Amino acid sequence: MLVPQTNIKVCHECGHHHERGRLCEHCYKRVEEETKLIQTRIKHKLGSGPIQDDVIVLYKGENLPEKAQEFWKGKRVIEMKKERPQWFSKNLLQKSTQQPSKATDVKPTDLA
């Protein structure tokens, strides 16, 4: 007997369907393709040997941020020849789709 799946939802980024609790397959493939392009560019510029230093990826139209000289010591810069995709965050450790909240603490006496 066929049982309908009730855990299907629509991706807010691309509109494709996927199971709840899983990544959208379409968005995952976009990120995978961009990652492969970056890896190819790194191999082309730095070779296929082990990379001991950090690598900074800059897209077309981006400049190096103003940082202290010690910050850039030992880092390698890879320049991509296209613009950064809108969904591809500059800082991969933070979410790019959410704005920082401006929450303030409210005392119970200030509610009414």
pLDDT, one tens digit per residue, over 91-111 is 765 555 556 567 677 777 766
Mean of the per-residue pLDDT values of the chain? 81
Residue 97, pLDDT score: 58
Taking the C-alpha atoms of residue 53 and residue 75, their distance in angstroms, rounded to an integer, is 6
Tokens of 46: 């730095």
Q: What are the residue boundaries of the structural domains of the chain, listed by start? A: 8-84
The percentage of residues in the chain with a pLDDT greater than 70, rounded to a whole number, is 85
CB atoms within 10 A of CB 42: 16
* This prediction's pTM: 0.66
Residue 9, pLDDT score: 93
Q: Quick check: 71 and 94 in contact, CB under 8 A? A: no
pLDDT, one tens digit per residue, over 19-28 is 999 989 999 9
Q: Quick check: 83 and 60 in contact, CB under 8 A? A: yes
| 59: nearest Cα among 41, 36, 33, 32 | 41
